[in-house]
Structure 1
């Protein structure tokens, strides 16, 4: 059993308040996650920053949303309640892409479900209004951030209003909240009423009047985007263009007779500020109250991993990072990262293995180009897609140096890289230093990368490089392993049922899986979550950039067939694969030949498959 001093954590009870001589908190943080004081958890970072600033901060993790008394256990805060659903959107946390209830919640004690409600931010805020009508409420985290505008909601299958209106919160912090929370705290503690704290970059609020707003971009109203899919597309593109701190302007979206106002994005943290955030005195563990409940499983995924940077300019359509962390890379110094690694090695549970060193994309450690540092990201093109920009700086030297320093630390046996490697960036590197170092020292028998698909039309909509690019990387990877005399494998992440993927594209992917001799165990079925370009495609069935119509698989049966095709070797998927091949007129893939995906059911099917193959040859 763990022996952890509760004084290493921030207060969560009246007993804690009494022991520390606290009569009233300045801020109380309501979290949909269990309390884990580790910098991989948003509630830990925000509360530690406020605590470091000298504010008295309490945490109520996973309150019983059915009882207002659960929200009153720490009393009334002096300045505000801070509310987040946790590290994930509560609907994604609760439901699979097929809208089935998940059997686990890794952010709850023992992995048990049921500790938070659906749409946690809205439920928590309304319960707080019931308990305390006059206390300011500030919402943040992924759920609030990605639902700040009117947005398509997959679970309701309709467009919902901004979460600010449904939650009745006073202020919303979007993106990474360290800089905004400092400014807000200073404003509130200086006596400014929350309704006048409407000037902080990285925040959004609701107002009755837009008088006085300068250089604001007005986008289509909630009522318009809910009624007209083409207007939804226009609104999404306008929002997307204003998400860079250099060039972003105020964005206004009417909701009835009120207005949702998004201030420009907050300036990303510089290296000194990033280092400061990660140097705070985190306990780096879950609170002792969870010991007898089996702990918090999500911690095990990150406890011995290191966040080296934030942001990503990869531009994948299905990723919402543009709306949350942004495209600008924010890196920590080597000294900061090494100091965290040294702390890690002192943990009694550390076995000598650092599980990961990276961020959204492991091998992005600096700005994409010099122009980006001075003028911000381009609004009219991506850095990596459809081909890498001519201004892209391809340089792994800093990352290589960092990894070398880490693996030479005492008590460190191995440093793995498990967060995503951009293979298209790797093959742009004229030097082979990185891939050699990667294969020699940082792969645990197999490297996972994310080509996602092989159909060119699907890859184009995904914002992913051509299949030829992945094939080039694959050859380079295996050639490198041969040279260093290692037998290591390449495991591709694949996605089914993305917008643009019809049965023909799904079968093309299945044939690729067949030819590479790989049996994928886990497939990501496309999940339309708020804030991504792909979700917009899913909803409007158009590419909002060109307004061209695209095919979108939406029926549960077709989505199941597309997923089953990639895992055609699994006997449980036989009927779905058979049905898909029959519908697509690809019965030539049913038979006993080396190119067939499944065997026939009976003699009649064998003849049908043979006739289908002859017909295809004639055509």
Structure 2
């Protein structure tokens, strides 16, 4: 029976398996896709492999408590996640407009999950069955584990552990934690005493039994004091390490949230086991009538090869979620998955991606991280690659070569993010040559994000000179290969530190390299990032120095328009921005102009040009007359 490829989603399917009830029920805001790119599938399959009975309630109707009872009362607990994306990010654009499509829902339909899904689902699960342990996890819970700035309500909210009234919060990727929680519950430990598990947060009424912890400013304090908020975030950011991280405690009223240090990184063997579990790698058949679920299209013929990222871009939440330690799968595990992809019915010969958060990070940054953890106040790549950083693409290249040789594979693409500064730090050009020759489909996407030094410093990104050298090397290699391939740079507008002057600087750079982006990403202040802390507080938490933050809607629109100055629709915005920035010189007919004047502006520019010419002629004549006087 086809449904047996999946975990049960109905009571009937549970009965067919001979179950009286499930041990755990996963409630998720995403449609049910049994693929290792989806957190709910990974956690449920991990528990199943450990011998637990797991049911799935995907996208329940949050207005109807009966939907939360469809699989009955679980023996040990509900595992609740908003899905692969924070529900507010999933629902709203950076301008806070409702999105038109939910890629994680059947047919891309909107409104199949609530705003703040984790909180709502917990509330309904409590109504359905009182006294059942509630364990929350996933990106929404992970990044909101402390009191945090919430962009959509424009205020500081409490830890989601308090707002959801859950019993335990799992942060990070969760496999270690969920097995330890499950075994503890199975052995009879009450969840209210489950305070020992790394990678979890819990609530307490007293600090009496806590030792060796750092106390953060309270929720009440940071909700009123932005300096205290920035200082609290700096500590949270610094202690995000499994080896050297400390227990963190944050008061909320008369209670406390306690964060244990992060869970240890998974070993290669553990990671291989997780990705080797019997995923069907499909969307559940119940969604066929809706045309499937769009999110599967990006990943069904792609392979996750690693986790973690030591790039530490300020605007990225990966540091706060997956951490900076790279965890990689073995070649054998990845090749086995590739064979499964090749054997699938709809495979056309193309593996769409082999990567992770950053595809060319396959190895731990340095040996020191294995024993001492990541550096507390030092980055691996910024402002320059650390002298201890191991730069080597050899192992990743070897993997790509093996994948290319698999029978039935026509092409293996690399579409995950690539750190071009890491490529430039490699003394050999072998990786970039083979990448260009075999693994690009006409365009290589990289993320310089900006070119202004003050903005790049706040982003934690390399200087423009590194990017320019990379571009030159890339085009030189492609010319040698006889290939006409291009670079598509990802760019970001309105990041903290970016004023109109910086945006104009970026526009001039785009003019000079003759690149006119079709898409530009406005900075989005999502929970858990350094940049969001800057956005809210106006301070860089690393230095406590003030940071300019563009928040006005008109200015943000102008900054975005400047990066797309060629678009006729942006004319008035670009003109206004240039006038405000004191750069009227960029409105004209010369090669350096960003926009040509229109209508009245055209006549004004001509008149101004005429006046300047008259002035120059007058000065020239005056100069000649002076010279004649001197001769006399």
Q: Deviations over 1:491-526 (max 9, x none)?
A: 000000000000111111111111111221111100
Distance 1:546 1:610 in 2: 49
1:603: Cα distance to partner? 4.2
Residue 505 (structure 1) aligned with residue 530 (structure 2): no
1:242 to 239, 246, 259: 239
| Structure-to-structure mapping, 1:259-270, within 5 angstroms | 259-270=256-267
Q: Choose 32-41 or 559-568, whichever is displaced more.
A: 559-568
Residue 368 (structure 1) aligned with residue 365 (structure 2): yes
Other-structure match for 1:453: 450
1:614: Cα distance to partner? 10
Other-structure match for 2:281: 284
Q: Choose 124-133 or 32-41, whichever is displaced more.
A: 124-133
Other-structure match for 2:355: 358
Other-structure match for 2:462: 465
Q: Deviations over 1:290-346 (max 9, x none)?
A: 011010000001111100000000010001111100000000000000000000000
Distance 1:576 1:123 in 2: 41
Other-structure match for 1:342: 339
Other-structure match for 1:532: 529
1:64 to 61, 65, 79: 61
After superposition, the Cα gap between the structure-2 partners of 1:8 and 1:399, relative to the gap in structure 1 and judged at 3 Å, is same
After superposition, the Cα gap between the structure-2 partners of 1:147 and 1:613, relative to the gap in structure 1 and judged at 3 Å, is farther
The 8 Å contact of residues 586 and 612 in structure 1, kept in 2 or not, is answered as no
Other-structure match for 2:538: 541
Other-structure match for 1:490: 487
Distance 1:610 1:589 in 2: 16
After superposition, the Cα gap between the structure-2 partners of 1:312 and 1:609, relative to the gap in structure 1 and judged at 3 Å, is farther
Distance 1:514 1:550 in 2: 27
1:22: Cα distance to partner? 1.3
Other-structure match for 1:84: 81
Q: Which secondary structure does the structure 1 equivalent of 2:257 belong to?
A: strand
Distance 2:529 2:606 in 1: 41
Distance 1:511 1:7 in 2: 58
Q: Deviations over 1:456-506 (max 9, x none)?
A: 100000000000010010011011111111110000000000000001111
Residue 422 (structure 1) aligned with residue 419 (structure 2): yes
The 8 Å contact of residues 107 and 297 in structure 1, kept in 2 or not, is answered as yes
Residue 25 (structure 1) aligned with residue 22 (structure 2): yes
1:545: Cα distance to partner? 1.5
Unaligned 5+ residue runs, structure 2? 617-632
| Structure-to-structure mapping, 1:222-261, within 5 angstroms | 222-261=219-258
Q: Which secondary structure does the structure 2 equivalent of 1:494 belong to?
A: strand
| Structure-to-structure mapping, 1:102-117, within 5 angstroms | 102-117=99-114
Other-structure match for 2:145: 148
Residue 136 (structure 1) aligned with residue 158 (structure 2): no
Distance 2:470 2:65 in 1: 55
Other-structure match for 1:183: 180
1:363: Cα distance to partner? 0.3
Distance 1:95 1:9 in 2: 31
2:96 to 93, 96, 99: 99
Other-structure match for 2:624: none
Q: Deviations over 1:96-116 (max 9, x none)?
A: 011000000000000010000
Distance 2:487 2:426 in 1: 19
1:564: Cα distance to partner? 1.1
Distance 2:527 2:602 in 1: 44
Q: With structure 2 as the length reference, what TM-score do the two structures score? A: 0.95
Distance 1:606 1:365 in 2: 59
1:599: Cα distance to partner? 1.7
1:405 to 402, 405, 408: 402
Other-structure match for 2:568: 571
The 8 Å contact of residues 331 and 366 in structure 1, kept in 2 or not, is answered as yes
The 8 Å contact of residues 588 and 610 in structure 1, kept in 2 or not, is answered as no
Residue 552 (structure 1) aligned with residue 549 (structure 2): yes
The 8 Å contact of residues 328 and 377 in structure 1, kept in 2 or not, is answered as yes
The 8 Å contact of residues 151 and 161 in structure 1, kept in 2 or not, is answered as yes
Distance 2:520 2:568 in 1: 16
Distance 2:609 2:158 in 1: 51
The 8 Å contact of residues 26 and 80 in structure 2, kept in 1 or not, is answered as yes
1:121 to 118, 122, 128: 118
Q: Deviations over 1:266-302 (max 9, x none)?
A: 0010000000000000000100000110100000011
After superposition, the Cα gap between the structure-2 partners of 1:248 and 1:601, relative to the gap in structure 1 and judged at 3 Å, is same
Other-structure match for 1:16: 13
Distance 2:183 2:11 in 1: 26
After superposition, the Cα gap between the structure-2 partners of 1:582 and 1:375, relative to the gap in structure 1 and judged at 3 Å, is same
Residue 582 (structure 1) aligned with residue 609 (structure 2): no
After superposition, the Cα gap between the structure-2 partners of 1:512 and 1:609, relative to the gap in structure 1 and judged at 3 Å, is farther
RMSD: 1.5
Aligned residue-pair number:
614
1:602: Cα distance to partner? 2.1
Q: Which secondary structure does the structure 2 equivalent of 1:427 belong to?
A: helix
Q: Which secondary structure does the structure 2 equivalent of 1:201 belong to?
A: coil
> Which is greater in Rg?
2
1:583: Cα distance to partner? 1.5
After superposition, the Cα gap between the structure-2 partners of 1:579 and 1:7, relative to the gap in structure 1 and judged at 3 Å, is same
After superposition, the Cα gap between the structure-2 partners of 1:96 and 1:604, relative to the gap in structure 1 and judged at 3 Å, is closer
Q: Which secondary structure does the structure 1 equivalent of 2:258 belong to?
A: strand
1:18: Cα distance to partner? 2.0
Q: Which secondary structure does the structure 2 equivalent of 1:554 belong to?
A: coil
